[in-house]
Chains A and B, each alone.
Chain A
């Protein structure tokens, strides 16, 4: 049973089509990337999954069927626009939000205290939320997302405005949650984070799903006919099967485009035959950033 099944959902606001027949599945225990440029419809998609918005058409299944009161308590959500009550103290704020997720008063006190200690917020718990620094508020928001031990965690731009230290902490927490068997949906446009963390992904652009699958598959599909080679020798100006080559940032690092009928395997033989000492030989995988830009520009998005 998939944790989330999104089937052909569409949503229109006024004259703007925010989502157009989007479908994807999120499997239990994976970190799933929901990607897209700003304004692509990611947040709308998440809000529909969370049952905050109703889709105009299509359906969403959570843990096998529709949303219910109990299921809301199984989901932890970190919205892009972070929100906490500013005028009450941190502890009260966290306890109220936890109680709305179905935790009893004693349970929520216990767990919140554990998290406050872990996140170094313990000494600030009697302060008003507005007196806390932005980083502290982010951590507090993360407590709200995790405190009720949800089976499904949905986080929207989890790393925005975090310093490297806190970014690392959030990553560690996400990995830790995955190891605990939680399903995580991460919504972002920071591609290197996705490469590092996600197992599978969907890329939404202008409300449409334009790319969907396992990260490795996606990269393989977009791999051009190129290889990366590291060698201290000179690459000859022409070699059989070589279309062209260019030096990368490091002088001994080359990217070589191959003729379409030549396989990397054959070209490796050619290099060996040419008596070139090879320190490293690999098939050039496009970065997600490159794929992202390629897909998005292909699908008609203009840079603004």
Chain B
């Protein structure tokens, strides 16, 4: 027991102290932060956000667009749009400004617009994204001009209808119309995928490293393979939990920081139950994959073989990602139910479902039982061949050996 703890402590410290680990631990939230600030909040004007949005705005975008309205419906540009739209009275003056780069585009509304609905746009080059933005501005302007006598209708036209959903499920969770509800299952799925795969791959690396360094023989004169395996499993599991905590912690922090309606409305906060399920599915999924990786580690002779072997183990983990969209769209469909019950995909897929909607309690329980049974079976078969004879042999790895070893045929 004491030596298991020594292994655990050493594994934990060397992993956490590794530069690549620290980098990943910090880099991922940082990328998330930048992404959220830049993409999510370019229009915001507060603090860091506006600074970043200034940095990402090109000179061209700051220019206004020119408008000549021959239908004479638009007589005046509203104050809030004055920076962005400049009204012209003649084509010539507009063309001169466009040519000398004072405006980035020139919109010409012909007299027959009301009949034909056609507007001519002159621009020096075509940029679909900013063009869309400009088109939208003109569209709003025309609408408000046309409907200037009916402000109420104008309001309805310019704002999308609000869908208020009344949930019949017992645990009202989040506002289903909230855009975060859309992203949440993606975030949760990727977080689980990365953390489970990441920490179980560390297991494989650690064992392969000891094999190729040949330290393993020294270790085996001091400790048993089981002490080694259990020390590593617990240590790297703790590393995985640390990652989860840091990443989800900074995730929440980013959401708070980024200004918009992210002051975390109550409806967005995940129900506490999902956290409990999350921990259970992480631990079980981690044990299952980490022991599989340990089994591969016992059989491969170098890192190159290890990475080939991992590819095969990773396939069942990737399936929930590939099929993410249909699962989120229909969290209680047959595909979603199957993936969230099948032990090799359930740790990730069940978390997707739990974050996308309500899952019947019996299904969660069944998934846990199935996962528990498979994890037990895998730990047992791996420990039966996680022995010196394999750890010290330099035999070339073949999937067949691995399957044979898992099934107890050696």
Interface residues of chain A, those whose CB is within 8 Å of chain B, are 13, 47, 50, 52-53, 69, 72-73, 75, 77, 79, 81-88, 92, 96-97, 99-101, 144
Contact = CB atoms under 8 A, between A and B. Distances in A.
Interface string B370-387: 000000000000000000
B215 A52 contact: no
Contacts, number: 59
A53 B221 CA distance: 10
A72 B221 contact: yes
8 contacts: A13-B389, A47-B392, A53-B388, A72-B223, A83-B214, A84-B215, A97-B219, A100-B219
Given A72-B222, A77-B221, A100-B3, A83 B388 contact: no
Nearest to B215: A83
A79 B14 CA distance: 24
A79 B388 contact: no
A144 B218 contact: yes
Most A CB contacts (10 A, CB to CB) among B3, B216, B221, B222 go to B221
B173 to A, nearest CB: 46
Interface in B151-198: none
6 nearest A-B pairs in the assembled complex, by CB-CB distance? A83-B214, A100-B222, A83-B215, A52-B388, A79-B217, A77-B221
Q: Taking chain A's interface residues, is the majority helix, strand, or loop, or is none over half, making it mixed?
A: loop
A101 B6 CA distance: 10
Nearest to B223: A100
Contacts of A73: 222
Interface string B205-235: 0000110011111111111000000000000
A75 B217 CA distance: 13
Contacts of A85: 209-210, 213, 215
A61 B218 CA distance: 20
B10 interface: yes
A81 B216 CA distance: 10
Nearest to A50: B221
Interface in B1-19: 3, 6-7, 10, 14
A101 B214 contact: no
Q: Kindly state the interface size class of chain B when it binds its partner.
A: 20 to 34
A83 B216 contact: yes
Given A83-B213, A84-B213, A97 B388 contact: no
Nearest to B7: A100
B387 to A, nearest CB: 9
Contacts of A99: 6, 10
A221 to B, nearest CB: 35
Nearest to A99: B6
A104 to B, nearest CB: 11
Nearest to A92: B14
Interface of B: 3, 6-7, 10, 14, 209-210, 213-223, 388-389, 392
B230 to A, nearest CB: 14
B214 A79 contact: yes
Given A47-B388, A99-B6, A100-B3, A88 B221 contact: no
Contacts of A100: 3, 6-7, 219, 222-223
Contacts of A77: 217-218, 221
Nearest to B3: A100
Nearest to B388: A52
A100 B11 CA distance: 13
Given A53-B389, A101-B222, A96 B217 contact: no
Contacts of A81: 214, 217
Given A47-B388, A96-B10, A100-B3, A82 B214 contact: yes
Contacts of A47: 388, 392
A100 to B, nearest CB: 4
Given A52-B388, A88-B14, A97 B218 contact: yes
B220 A52 contact: yes
Contacts of B10: 96, 99
B308 to A, nearest CB: 22
A24 B3 CA distance: 31
Contacts of B214: 79, 81-83
B213 A86 contact: yes
B218 A83 contact: yes
B318 to A, nearest CB: 29
Contacts of A87: 209
B217 A52 contact: yes
Contact of B221 (A13, A75, A84, A96): A75
A60 to B, nearest CB: 14
Nearest to A80: B217
A189 B222 CA distance: 26
Given A47-B388, A96-B10, A52 B213 contact: no
Given A77-B217, A100-B219, 7 more contacts: A13-B389, A52-B221, A53-B388, A79-B217, A81-B214, A82-B214, A85-B213
Contacts of B210: 85
Nearest to A53: B388
A265 to B, nearest CB: 51
A52 B3 CA distance: 16
A142 to B, nearest CB: 12
Nearest to A100: B222
Point out which of B209, B215, B216, B219 has the most chain A C-beta atoms below 10 A from its C-beta: B215
Contacts of B7: 100
A144 B217 CA distance: 12
B214 to A, nearest CB: 3
- Residue of B7, B218, B392 with highest tally of chain A CB at under 10 A: B218
A124 B213 CA distance: 19
A73 B10 CA distance: 18
B226 to A, nearest CB: 12
Nearest to B222: A100
Contacts of A13: 389
A71 to B, nearest CB: 11
